[in-house]
Structure 1
Amino acid sequence: MCGEPSFLFEINAPVPSPNVLAPLLIKPEQMQEIRDAFEEAGVVSQSDRKALIESVIMGEVESLRELKSVDARRILQRIKGLHSRKPTSTGSAWDNREDDTWIDKL
């Protein structure tokens, strides 16, 4: 046993390093960015906002302050995806066509 480190009372035990990869909490700027994105996308109902956030983080949340910084980025991407969707078309396929046909070029 001579020459082996003694950890009986943790005198010479290696000190575990703190977890430097722990997720950071959301910043106030990110919270405001999420609120602004919701407004721009037209999502005004608190229940709709909460449902969208919970669908992204796959869990329940009571406040934006509970979110992690990485969650904020994913939430913003989802909100911006809602805003950039094409509006539902009304009318016939002919009315909703994007390109001109030979008839249009006459």
Structure 2
Amino acid sequence: MNDEIPSLFDVEAPSTSTVQAPLPVRSEQVAEIRKSFELAGVTSQDQRKEIVESVTFRSVASLRDLQAVEAHRILKVIKGMQTSKPNRKGSAWDNREEDTWIDKL
């Protein structure tokens, strides 16, 4: 083979690898998490901590200890909780979605 043409497998490794540290949580994210917890009806600190730690897979002492990406995931989980349980009062008959044959009479 010709020595002047580089081989496909002669790839030089980068001399320095730059690994960025994860971004810390922003104040706006902390405020949004707190507000979302209130809207979801999660008032107990133990419940809040359980939800946060179930998303981060680690022990978290304060919301300020979160990373920005973790805060984003926590917000998605809390907002999913808000939409999954509608705030309905009354019986199943009162909360039915469609009219029955009785309603059409």
Q: Using a 3 Å threshold, how does the CA distance of structure 1 residues 17 and 81 change in structure 2: closer, same or farther?
A: same
Structure 1 distance, partners of 2:90, 2:37, is 29
Give the number of aligned pairs.
Answer: 92
Consecutive unaligned residues in structure 2, runs of 5 or more? 1-13
Structure 2 distance, partners of 1:91, 1:37, is 25
Q: Structure 2 matches for 1:6-21, cutoff 5 A?
A: 15-20=15-20
What TM-score does the superposition give when structure 2 sets the normalisation length?
Answer: 0.73
Consecutive unaligned residues in structure 1, runs of 5 or more? 1-13
CA drift at 1:59 = 1.6
Q: Deviations over 1:12-41 (max 9, x none)?
A: xx7524213x32111111111111111111
Calculate the aligned-residue CA RMSD, in Å. Answer: 2.3
Structure 2 distance, partners of 1:17, 1:69, is 23
SS at match of 1:52: helix
Q: Structure 2 matches for 1:1-106, cutoff 5 A?
A: 15-20=15-20, 22-87=21-86, 94-106=93-105
Q: Deviations over 1:69-100 (max 9, x none)?
A: 11011100111111112348787755543111
Q: Using a 3 Å threshold, how does the CA distance of structure 1 residues 91 and 29 change in structure 2: closer, same or farther?
A: closer
